[in-house]
């Protein structure tokens, strides 16, 4: 499948991490998703009901990031992939979770986990 919908740079405050202060103070997470699906029906109909509404998707993803805390961003990424694959039209989803304020005592630009999940 070569058709894709990409949503990049979704910034949401979350309370994920293994340290107490991460759970208490929270930090910003940045999420990128790429959905693989057939966009021909939407292109033919010119109707949003025939595609994944990326505004609604963004709200669902943000709710997960702002929701129940987890220790690992690997777990968070899996939960986000599950949200993406909940739409039966999505064949595969690539999810990147960035943790730019990770508690690393060195200067760094970003830490991210990238997963790709396909419909079984």
- Residues with catalytic roles: 99
What are the residue ranges of helices labelled H in the chain?
A: 20-25, 40-45, 54-66, 73-85
54-86: buried (b, 16+ CB within 10 Å) or exposed (e) per residue? beebeeebbebbeeeebeebeebbbbbbebbbe
Q: Computed from CA positions of residues 35, 41, 45, 49, in that sequence, does the dihedral angle turn out positive or negative?
A: negative
């Amino acid at each position: 499948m070569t058709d894709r919908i990409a949503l990049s740079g979704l910034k949401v405050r979350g309370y994920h991490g293994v340290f107490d202060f991460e759970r208490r103070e929270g930090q910003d997470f940045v999420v990128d998703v790429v959905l693989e699906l057939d966009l021909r029906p939407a292109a033919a109909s010119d109707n949003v009901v025939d595609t994944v509404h990326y505004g609604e998707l963004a709200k669902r993803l943000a709710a997960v990031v702002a929701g129940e805390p987890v220790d690992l961003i690997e777990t968070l990424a899996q939960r986000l992939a599950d949200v993406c694959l909940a739409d039966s039209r999505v064949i595969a989803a690539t999810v990147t979770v960035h943790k730019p304020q990770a508690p690393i005592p060195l200067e760094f630009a970003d830490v991210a986990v990238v997963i790709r999940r396909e419909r079984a």
